């Protein structure tokens, strides 16, 4: 979580890892904040006995834990479970509680696949790449590709984005291409071409373009974002300079700085061109 919070209640020695979100919490306030920020993606697996145990043993909220266990054992709803937490912890005001409850009611109609996709998107935004991949794979298993090709393609596109953020460009290119074949969306194709440019030699890239016959508009869009490898070495272009800087960091073994700069560079390109590596 990005915001600092002053926690007045008990703080746990051992954190609780929230199922599906990949976030560790240490306090009751953090739990409420997490609910407020992720109400639309909270699923039935949030109703966890381990959460009750955490509240009871780590945070000493015995009465709240008892009430939550009763809701669990009596087959109560997700809304009942979440609202019991919010009512038992003095963090959200009444307006916030009503808003969260409404979100829970509205999102209850979402398919499990759409909720899992949203959780994968949140994990990707939080840079928890391995968890995001796992969540997207789980999502794909819940989607009938023939019945929902656009949703299926959106998950594939975002898997491509995740691998691209990990600098696994060849893998990313494969997923972007799979997405394009389903949705015929130029954005997926441009992302595919960009990733191909990043892992292929210029000769390989040019042969691929001739062989596949992609639309000229998409090819031009990709080239506006990234120069070819020849230009990478000899053009005093801002993008070429950024790529050269990344290469130097990697070769020098400065792994931490390399990955930080990779993230900053990709985000900069995304903001400027709004063509690549955005979530579907």
The β-bridge partners of 24 are 17
Site of tokens 């080239």: 223
* Residue 273: per-residue pLDDT: 41
Is CATH 1.25.40.10 the classification given to domain 112-273? yes
Going from N- to C-terminal start, the domains of the chain cover 11-107, 112-273
Give pLDDT, residue 115.
79
Find out whether 9 and 59 touch, Cβ atoms under 8 Å. yes
CB-based burial of residue 277 (10 Å sphere; 0-12 exposed, 13-18 middle, 19+ buried)?
Answer: buried
User: With contact defined as beta carbons under 8 Å apart, do 30 and 95 qualify?
Assistant: no
pTM beyond 0.75, yes or no: no
pLDDT tens-digit profile, the chain (280 residues): 444 444 545 677 888 988 666 688 899 999 999 898 888 778 888 899 999 999 999 999 999 999 999 999 999 988 999 999 999 998 888 999 998 888 888 777 777 788 788 878 877 877 888 888 988 998 999 899 999 999 999 999 999 999 998 889 999 999 999 999 999 999 999 999 999 988 999 899 999 999 999 999 999 988 887 754 444 444 345 555 666 666 676 667 666 666 666 666 666 655 544 333 445 6
Measured on CA atoms in the order 30, 33, 37, 39, is the torsion positive or negative? positive
Closest to 144 in 3D by CA, of 184, 90, 182: 182
Structure tokens at 94: 């009444």
Q: Which residues pair with 27 in a beta bridge?
A: 11
Q: Are 270 and 276 in contact (CB under 8 A)?
A: yes
Helix (H, G, I), strand (E, B) or coil at 15: strand
């Amino acid at each position: 979580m990005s915001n600092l919070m002053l926690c007045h209640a008990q703080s746990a020695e051992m954190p609780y890892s929230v199922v599906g979100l990949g976030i560790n919490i240490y306090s009751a306030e953090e739990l409420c904040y997490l609910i407020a920020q992720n109400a639309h993606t909270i699923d039935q697996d949030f109703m966890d006995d381990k959460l009750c145990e955490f509240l009871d043993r780590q945070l000493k909220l015995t009465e709240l834990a008892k009430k939550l266990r009763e809701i669990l054992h009596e087959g109560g709803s997700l809304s009942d479970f979440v609202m019991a937490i919010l009512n038992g912890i003095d963090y959200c005001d009444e307006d916030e509680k009503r808003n969260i409850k409404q979100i829970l009611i509205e999102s209850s109609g979402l398919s499990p696949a759409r909720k899992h996709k949203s959780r994968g998107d949140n994990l990707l935004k939080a840079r928890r790449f391995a968890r995001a991949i796992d969540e997207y794979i789980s999502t794909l298993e819940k989607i009938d590709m023939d019945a929902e090709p656009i949703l299926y393609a959106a998950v594939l596109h975002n898997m491509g984005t995740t691998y691209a953020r990990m600098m696994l460009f060849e893998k990313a290119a494969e997923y972007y291409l799979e997405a394009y074949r389903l949705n015929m969306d130029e954005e997926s194709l441009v992302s595919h071409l960009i990733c191909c440019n990043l892992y292929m030699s210029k000769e390989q890239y040019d042969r691929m373009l001739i062989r596949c016959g992609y639309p000229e508009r998409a090819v031009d869009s990709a080239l506006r974002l990234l120069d070819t490898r020849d230009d990478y070495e000899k053009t005093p272009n801002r993008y070429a300079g950024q790529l050269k800087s990344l290469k130097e960091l990697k070769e020098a073994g400065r792994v931490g700085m390399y990955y930080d700069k990779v993230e900053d560079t990709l985000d900069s390109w995304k903001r400027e061109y709004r063509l690549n590596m955005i979530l579907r």
